[in-house]
Amino acid sequence: MRKIKLLCFLFISFLFTLKIYGNSINGDNLNRSIFDASSLDWRLWCYRPNVWRMNFNFEQFSGSWAEHSDLPMTVPGSVQNALKKAGVIEDWNVGVNSRKIEWIENREWLVMAKLPDKIKADENEKIFLRCHGLDYKGILMINGHEAGRFDNAFVPYSFLISPYLKESNNNIVFIFECPPQNLAQIGWTSRITDWKPRFNYGWDWMARIVQIGIWDDILIETVKDSQMKFDGLKVSSSADRTKDMGALSVSAKFNNLAWSGQVNVTLSDESEKKLINENFPVREIEEKKDWSNLKIKRWWPNGLGQQPLYLLTITLKDPDGNEIQQETKRIGFRTIDWLPCEGAPAEADPWICSVNSQPFFIQGVNWTPIRPNFADLTEEDYRLRLQMYKDLGVNTIRIWGGGFPEKTWLYDLCDEMGILIWQDFPLSSSGLDNYPPEGFQEVYMISQIATHYVKRLHHHPSLLLWCGGNELYERNDVAPITDKHVMIKAMKDIVSLLDPARRFVEASPSGPSIYGNQSTFGTGKNWDVHGPWDLPYTEQDKTMIAVEDYWNKDDAMFRSEVGVPGAMSVEAMNKYKGDFHLLPASMDNPLWRNVSWWLQWDEYKQTGKNLENINEYVDWSQNRQTEGLTLALKKSKDRFPACGGFIIWMGHDSYPCMINTSLIDFDGNPKPVAAELSKMWKDNSYLKFD
């Protein structure tokens, strides 16, 4: 019965997927008109819930009861950033100003623009609004008529708008309703029914700043009714494990009109030399077309080799040879294998990663969104962070499950830089219970999300594995969740169907144990574990002797979260402190209490150091982080191949925390620990090359 229910979930899931994605949101149709709606003059209005229904005039863009009206807004962009630019709110990063902007969650926001008269549908044409990222829930209005609804920040939406358009003077309005209140770090995972990034609601490294807005591209597309087309492009590439030879397979779904046409496939290297340039009947691509023995250069992770990339172009042509639709993917050729750890029990999951027949140590950071208002990020924001990680010697990031699907820039840059991606699906722990939802609707929704993630990202050579989510446990937190849970099983089956060559891990951590505790060392039960996030003292010994003893005894096969807190620089503190004093660094100080999980003041007071000098405190805290974290990484990497990897929680701050486990502060400046970790990350003396 359980299996039948799951099949029903998946069947309905894929029907829904066809409905949303039936008109390809990523393809480039050469015979259609595509207009980038970000170029419009977008304006922002604010109302108390439902008041706009009685007061706003959609034809004249007027409403006397609005609390804020006709403010300029950038799209993509957040409501918060528009308000800050307009001087309505202060910088939420300063002092405790984040508390002053929580009222934004309790309003409804109208984001609107007038459409150019050139956007009109001729006979036998339809016009669609393609929205790649809406955060989070609301209504799309065209000329005052409801054209659709949205309620999921993790999937794109495609709205048919041509039935609502007039000859001229058309307008578009997104109405963002009040977001849910209950997605913060502390709560019940089993009760999650809303699909919006949870980190915005406050975490141990983030104040509550609940973004509202349009976080990704918006396109207006005109499509002919009787038009050949394809979607669902699926690409799989691999490399010979020992030499520069590659294999490629391509398939797609074509509508009935397309079967009279043909498909051109080209594969070009970075010098634009074509390795493939062939034409096929549509049926050959529909069924899957394979190539082998391609003379390519293999793709390697950072520190192990280069990252050559190739441009794959699929072009649909009509019987006369006219180009109708084209889609491109940038791909790389490599093969990943997972091997058992040395000395691991036979039943243990494999945690040694081998690329192109070279086993290596996975080392890097957990990636959290760069900013709470991630709608306002630029490609340069991503390049700066990722280039820093590459230069430090990182070869892997884990995109944590409390964030969002991430901008396309991240995946493209990781392909270029050789940074592997451990991709969580957007599901996370909640503290009061960490058991995933198992209701029909919740499994249905995560199936849509997983399907979108996999279809969108599967071609990237940097994508290492899929993961069900963060810190998901059986009831009463007795062990990590497994694929016996209906939601985990649904995600796993989607990956198996759409990306079968890539590994799926049920959750992080996974295996018999949640944490690597001394009581379980030597039992073979520590597979992929979390923690510690501080120095692992004992009750009897709170010195580095105890810390070193812990890591000497460690037998974990993989550690996907480890951290030690360290304060940010005094310079950064002064920049963001506002009107508050920097001392004491305790709960008695509202500045430190704002994000307070990692306070060390009580421990610092026991050292006998100066309690009136912030510089001495910061030096002590940063030295403590450096000593503790470098010791942990060294001991773990020295155990390779008994230990397969070590991912630090966390990489960078998304908010100017006074103290946190991050390596890089809010402004992108590395803490002292980063330089010491880099020395070990760049040390490849442990490798045995053929």
Would the CA dihedral through 179, 182, 185, 191 be positive or negative? negative
In this structure, what CATH number is given to the domain that contains residue 132? 2.60.120.260
Same domain, 275 and 208: no
Same domain, 305 and 204: no
Q: 494-542, pLDDT tens digit by residue?
A: 999 999 999 999 999 999 999 998 999 999 999 999 999 999 999 999 9
Which of 180, 208, 224 is the C-terminal boundary of a domain? 224
Same domain, 206 and 255: no
| Calpha distance 71→83 (Å, rounded) | 8
Percent of the chain scoring above 90 in pLDDT? 92
State mean pLDDT over 96-103: 97
Q: Is-contact 630 680, C-beta < 8 A?
A: yes
Distance between first and last Cα of the chain: 51
State mean pLDDT over 272-277: 96
In sequence order, the β-bridge partners of residue 336 are 355
In this structure, what CATH number is given to the domain that contains residue 312? 2.60.40.10
Same domain, 571 and 650: yes
What pLDDT, on a 0 to 100 scale, did the predictor assign at position 690?
54
Q: How confident is the model at residue 18 (pLDDT cuts 50, 70, 90)?
A: very low
Q: Which of 463, 461, 469, 513 is nearest to 490 (CA)?
A: 469
Q: How confident is the model at residue 313 (pLDDT cuts 50, 70, 90)?
A: very high
Q: Is 611 a member of any domain?
A: yes
What pLDDT, on a 0 to 100 scale, did the predictor assign at position 2?
47
State mean pLDDT over 458-462: 98
Same domain, 408 and 545: yes
Same domain, 92 and 178: yes
Same domain, 290 and 408: no
Same domain, 255 and 218: no
Name the residue with tokens 């799989």: 236
Domain count, the chain: 3
Hey, is 534 helix, strand or coil? coil
Q: Is 436 a member of any domain?
A: no
| Calpha distance 338→340 (Å, rounded) | 7
State mean pLDDT over 67-77: 98
What pLDDT, on a 0 to 100 scale, did the predictor assign at position 121?
82
Of 134-148, 214-228, 447-461, 561-575, the poorest mean pLDDT is in: 214-228
Mean residue pLDDT of the chain comes to 94
What pLDDT, on a 0 to 100 scale, did the predictor assign at position 27?
42
**383, 384, 386, 390: CA torsion to nearest 10:** 120
Same domain, 526 and 675: yes
What pLDDT, on a 0 to 100 scale, did the predictor assign at position 19?
39
What would the two tokens of residue 442 be? Answer: 């919740």
Q: 27-54, pLDDT tens digit by residue?
A: 444 555 899 999 999 999 999 999 999 9
What pLDDT, on a 0 to 100 scale, did the predictor assign at position 33?
84
Expressed as residue numbers, the domain containing 109 is 31-224
What pLDDT, on a 0 to 100 scale, did the predictor assign at position 525?
96
Q: Is 452 a member of any domain?
A: no
What pLDDT, on a 0 to 100 scale, did the predictor assign at position 10?
47
Same domain, 235 and 207: no
What pLDDT, on a 0 to 100 scale, did the predictor assign at position 635?
98
State mean pLDDT over 292-307: 97
